[in-house]
Amino acid sequence: MTFIESQMQAFVGQKFTANEKSFIVKYADNFAYTDPVDGSVSQKQGIRILFEDGSRTVFRLSGTGS
């Protein structure tokens, strides 16, 4: 995860192709979760990569309570 996080800003604007479908990275971050009940915030919950077509992929950390 540390390696992916260090590289993720370089993903922005890159095009990836799989099964004849192309995906262009719009945004990448290590996301935070805000609890809707008590408002507490948990940082660094996993790597999120969002694509221009609205699709996304998430690498979620194990043991984050999900």
Type of residue numbered 9: Q
Residue 38 belongs to a domain: yes
Residues 27-50 pLDDT 10s: 999 999 899 999 999 888 889 999
Angle (CA) 44 50 54, round 5°: 140
Number of separate domains in the chain: 1
Query: Could you tell me the CATH number of the domain that includes residue 44?
Result: 3.30.310.50
Which residue segment(s) compose the domain that 16 sits in?
2-60
Whether the pLDDT of residue 66 is over 70: the answer is no
Q: What average pLDDT does range 7-22 have in this prediction?
A: 93
DSSP 18: E
Residue 66 belongs to a domain: no
* Whole-angstrom distance, CA of residue 44 vs CA of residue 46: 6
Whether the pLDDT of residue 22 is over 60: the answer is yes
* Whole-angstrom distance, CA of residue 52 vs CA of residue 44: 23
Residue 65 belongs to a domain: no
Place of tokens 């979620």: 60
Higher pLDDT, 31 or 24: 24
Residues 51-61 pLDDT 10s: 999 999 998 87
Give the number of other CB atoms < 10 A from CB of residue 24: 13
Residue 48 belongs to a domain: yes
Residue 19 belongs to a domain: yes
pTM, 2 dp: 0.75
